[in-house]
Amino acid sequence: MTSVPEIRLATSEDEIAAAIRIRRAVFVAEQGGPHDEEPDAHDAAARHYLVRDEVRAVGTARLLGAGEQTARIGRVCLLPEARGRGWGSALLEFIVADARSLGARELVLDAQVAVVEFYDVLGFTVEGEVFEDAGIPHLRMRRRVE
């Protein structure tokens, strides 16, 4: 890591709007995903997280099912200028710790096939077969957090 980002729960409308802007930049503009999925119907019930550099929000993720034994991580992304610094790993470990503190015993996520190794290093294991989401191949992954 070249520097330490600030990672926190997004609680205000402005912070959640920043998270959605990042998702649109990555999933829609960069990867060509459907515009109508950012935001989506799950956002209202999700816990949103932000990664901030010294100036602005540069990454985000969300957690669905907080407080349940199995919670779901989704919409993990960093803007291009924030990648390769270890900030994605820091974000995931922050979410794992938060989910554990809320009672989760395991976490699931749907990883783009191109980044399965990233999640594997963080203790997630592949289950099932490749499937497409928004035209991109994905694999379901799971991690125990007890």
Average pLDDT on 97-117 reads 97
User: pTM score, two decimals?
Assistant: 0.95
Please answer whether residues 87 and 51 qualify as being in contact, where contact means their C-beta atoms are separated by less than 8 angstroms. Answer: yes
Phi and psi (nearest 5°) for 10? -85, 120
pLDDT category, 122, cuts 50, 70, 90?
A: very high
Instruction: Decide if pLDDT at 35 tops 80.
Output: yes
Which helix H or strand E contains 84, and what residues bound it? Answer: none
* CA dist., res. 132 & res. 135, Å (int): 6
Q: Is 98 helix (H, G, I), strand (E, B) or coil?
A: helix
Element (H, E) at 86: none
* Residue 146 DSSP one-character state: -
Q: Any idea how long the chain is?
A: 146
pLDDT classification of 1: cutoffs 50, 70, 90? very low
Neighbours of 64 (CB within 10 A): 16
The pLDDT tens digits of the residues spanning 19-33 come to 999 999 999 999 999
CB proximity list for 22: less than 8 A, separation 6 or greater: 57, 58, 59, 60, 77, 78, 79
**Domain range 6-144, its CATH number among 3.30.56.10, 3.30.428.10, 3.40.630.30, 3.30.420.40:** 3.40.630.30
2 pLDDT exceeds 90? no
